[in-house]
Structure 1
């Protein structure tokens, strides 16, 4: 998942793979990668992964005293009723 703003600031990429510790990263901890690594059997975005990312992002925005609007598509993994303090979610209409 990619998250950026108009000023060019970018968040770490969220990458979802099938393996919690891929063989390609044999000698590397996934915590030391330049991305946020999550995994599940199908390598799909899930509501749990999305909620975790949103809550972490909200905490960081609160610490920076920033209020933002985040535009999301209408994927079923995007939580519609999550309580966030510094992020307002705006869902785009279906295609």
Structure 2
């Protein structure tokens, strides 16, 4: 993570200056062999200038927005239905496998318990409390590499 904020001198001298704190949340999901599905990206703006006029469905991530760029239960369920299910179905069809899925999720506030009943063919298991950094493979490898780049 960055430990500094770079600003122009003229900005810092303005009365009432406050450095911008832009937040983004990235949601990763992969399978046991390491196939990473399209990540979810939560940002505060639904149409920022960087993607103005672009089709967000063609981006390499599933774009969602809310005021604080946090994962909320409704947004997570939306990602689950519109991204996770479709990506996993496509992957399993390519491999010639039946659609039987085990999704392991941590107990973050934005991961609703109702997820267990969101799809008949997906079994959802929640990690025990306060064990995510120890047990979750994404925390051990993928997220660490993503933050390093």
Does the alignment reach a TM-score above 0.5? Answer: yes
- Class of the TM-score when normalised by the shorter of the 2 chains: 0.7 to 0.9
SS of the residue corresponding to residue 113 of structure 2 reads coil
Structure-2 residue corresponding to 1:45: 71
Aligned pairs for 1:49-64 within 5 A? 49-56=75-82, 57-58=84-85, 61=88, 64=93
Across the two proteins, how many residue pairs are aligned to each other?
A: 95
Q: TM-score, normalised by structure 2?
A: 0.57
Is there any run of 5+ residues in structure 1 with no aligned partner, and where? none
Q: Name whichever structure is richer in strand by fraction.
A: 1
CA RMSD, 1 decimal: 1.9
Structure-1 residue corresponding to 2:121: 86
- Residue 74 of structure 1, aligned match among 92, 107, 118: 107
Q: Which has the higher contact order (CA 8 A, sep 6+)?
A: 1
Q: TM-score, normalised by structure 1?
A: 0.84
- Residue 55 of structure 2, aligned match among 22, 29, 32: 29
Larger radius of gyration: 2
Name the CA shift for 1:87/1:37 in 2 (closer, same or farther; >3 Å): same
1:16-74: per-residue Cα shift (whole Å, max 9, x none)?
00100111123423222111100000000010111112223335656743211111111
Aligned-partner Cα distance in 2 for 1:34–1:62: 18
Is there any run of 5+ residues in structure 2 with no aligned partner, and where? 1-26, 131-149
Q: Name whichever structure is richer in helix by fraction.
A: 2
